[in-house]
Amino acid sequence: MNSVRTTLPRLDESLLTHMPPFSKLDRRQIREILDLATSRRYDLGVNVFEEGMPAERFYMLLDGHIRVIRTTESGEHVTVLHIPNGQLFGIAKALNRDTYPATAVTATESIALSWPTRLWSMFVKEYDGFATETYGTVGKRMAEMNDRIIAMTTQQVEQRIANAILRLISQSGREVEDGIEIDFPVTRQDISELTGTTLHTVSRLLSAWEKDGIVESRRKRIKVCEPHRLVKLGQS
Domain span(s) for CATH 2.60.120.10 in the chain? 14-151
Element holding 104 (H helix, E strand) = strand 103-106
Quote the pLDDT of residue 11.
78
Quote the pLDDT of residue 3.
45
Quote the pLDDT of residue 1.
46
| CA 209 – CA 15 distance, rounded (Å) | 39
Query: What are the φ and ψ backbone dihedral angles of 55, each rounded to 5 degrees?
Result: -85, 80
Class of domain 155-235 as given by CATH: mainly alpha
Residue at 192: amino acid letter: S
Quote the pLDDT of residue 80.
82
Class of domain 14-151 as given by CATH: mainly beta
Full pLDDT tens readout for the chain, 236 residues? 444 444 556 778 888 888 889 988 998 999 999 999 999 999 999 999 999 999 999 999 999 999 999 888 888 778 888 898 889 999 999 989 999 999 999 999 999 999 999 999 999 999 988 988 888 888 888 887 777 777 777 789 999 999 989 988 988 888 998 899 998 888 888 898 888 889 999 999 999 999 999 999 887 889 999 999 999 998 86
Quote the pLDDT of residue 144.
78
Helices (H), the chain: 14-17, 27-35, 120-126, 130-154, 157-172, 188-195, 199-211, 227-235
Quote the pLDDT of residue 123.
94
Distances (CA, A) of 229 to 55, 108, 152, 162, 233: 43, 29, 21, 10, 6
Q: Which of 127, 128, 133, 63 is nearest to 91 (CA)?
A: 133
Domain span(s) for CATH 1.10.10.10 in the chain? 155-235
Q: Which residues on neighbouring strands pair with residue 201, listed in sequence order?
A: none
Quote the pLDDT of residue 226.
94
